[in-house]
Amino acid sequence: MPPLKGSAPSRASLEKYNAKRDFRLTKEPAGALPRGSGKSLAFVIQKHAASHLHFDLRLECDGVMKSWAVPKGPSVDASVKRLAMEVEDHPVAYNKFEGTIPEGEYGGGTVMLWDRGTYTPDEVRAGESNNDAVRHALNAGKLAFTFHGERLHGSFALVRTRRGAERAQWLLIKHHDEFATEGRDIVAEVMTSVTTGRTMVQIAAGDNGALKSAEGADGVGAIDAMLPTPLTRALPEGEYAVEPAIHGVRAMAFVTNGTVQLISANGNSEHKKRTVPLDDYPDVQSALLRLARHITGALVLDGILCDGAFIVVDLLLRDAQLLVEEPWIERRRQLEDALVNTAPKTQSHLQSVRMNPWVACSSNDIDDAAAELHTADVIVKRIDSPYESGPSKLWIRIRADSDGGKL
């Protein structure tokens, strides 16, 4: 039978290409043969707030999803190695799961579909299907593969470092290629579901994207910390709140029932977001975890890590309610209610996670308010101002000048 015009490259044509080359010696790419089933191999990454926050990497092979729990999630920085604990195979149908596993059940907690797509093994021998190549590579303890995802692209390696009857340990490493980016913390940057656009707190709150559409943005994870701007002209008349300026690491705490994550807004550029290792702030960690156990919904706290404590300056979300459009005074009221009335009033809690003090004043008596706070370096906020992402003229930084200012 004559070959059909315009048909896809046949298996035979790639076999010839491959048979002529020894891929242990040449750096040419091996020809990837069409798979027997003709179906692509799927992958998903699910962000899972179980007893410990982690990311589940799942690669389709032999009709199931081979699975690894990656505590810190994938990195696109080729110098970063991420631990990946082998876990049990999951059914392919699990690839569509996003939602909350009831507490007390296995893996109880919120699951977000963080990325999805197909993947291909980087090395395929002559006559081998992609599926067979993946199986052989995993059995040998080293798989090089390429993600064709919505968020992850390019080549990665999974390398087994320890066999175990229970749990083999692997490392997930980005290869150097055009998709590798030094210093980029993609899991801190991309905090929403790839399918629904929801954040973890929104999924936990059982919301169905209502917040996203109400806000017209990618949810609270897309909001940058509100930054004060210097005083450039006289303050307009009005009611203000004056707070001491705190020097430290600006961070957002995402607190859901049972889980905590800190994302810093500081960095080389002011828009760089990074996960802050909670271990670096043990007192803050334990106080936030205690808070997480005592709330039913979710909180997103804006604050500053300073002297081993987290000084909270704002509240962006409470349960399923986004508060950024509310006036500052209402957000502050809700913050006090959430931290003081809802949370346990233990001394260590109040010491390690506490609200920044404030004093009410008018545009004329800022100096008196600063004196009351015993500082010359203050942030002045209009009490009716909404929360804005990034630098804002609604928050004004005022420092007493060097010669006059003794307070």
Q: In angstroms, what is the minimal distance from the CB of 71 to Mn ion?
A: 10
Q: Which is nearer to Mn ion, 48 or 72 (CB)?
A: 48
Residue 289 to residues 70, 78, 277, 344, Cα–Cα distance (Å): 21, 32, 14, 12
Candidates 55-63, 263-271, 311-319, 366-374 — which segment interacts with Mn ion by CB under 5 A? 55-63
Would you count residue 56 as binding Mn ion (CB under 5 A)?
yes
Q: In angstroms, what is the minimal distance from the CB of 199 to Mn ion?
A: 18
Would you count residue 132 as binding Mn ion (CB under 5 A)?
no
Per DSSP bridges, beta strands 298-306 and 249-256 are antiparallel
- Determine the Cα–Cα distance for residues 114 and 127; give it in Å rounded to an integer: 34
Q: In angstroms, what is the minimal distance from the CB of 67 to Mn ion?
A: 8
Q: In angstroms, what is the minimal distance from the CB of 101 to Mn ion?
A: 9
Name the residue with tokens 């209402």.
330
Enclosing H/E stretch for 377: strand 377-382
Would you count residue 326 as binding Mn ion (CB under 5 A)?
no
- Determine the Cα–Cα distance for residues 288 and 263; give it in Å rounded to an integer: 13
Would you count residue 48 as binding Mn ion (CB under 5 A)?
yes
Name the residue with tokens 């929360």.
387
Q: In angstroms, what is the minimal distance from the CB of 107 to Mn ion?
A: 5
- Determine the Cα–Cα distance for residues 72 and 84; give it in Å rounded to an integer: 9
Q: Which is nearer to Mn ion, 48 or 198 (CB)?
A: 48
Q: In angstroms, what is the minimal distance from the CB of 18 to Mn ion?
A: 38
Spatial CB neighbours of 107, under 8 Å, sequence gap ≥ 6 = 48, 50, 101
Q: Which is nearer to Mn ion, 203 or 370 (CB)?
A: 203
- Determine the Cα–Cα distance for residues 194 and 175; give it in Å rounded to an integer: 23
Candidates 48-56, 206-214, 258-266, 388-396 — which segment interacts with Mn ion by CB under 5 A? 48-56
Q: Which is nearer to Mn ion, 89 or 224 (CB)?
A: 89
Q: Which of 145, 128, 104, 92 is nearest to 18 (CA)?
A: 128
Candidates 44-52, 128-136, 150-158, 171-179 — which segment interacts with Mn ion by CB under 5 A? 44-52
Shortest Cβ contact with Mn ion: which residue? 48
Where do contacts with Mn ion occur on this chain (CB under 5 A)? 48, 56
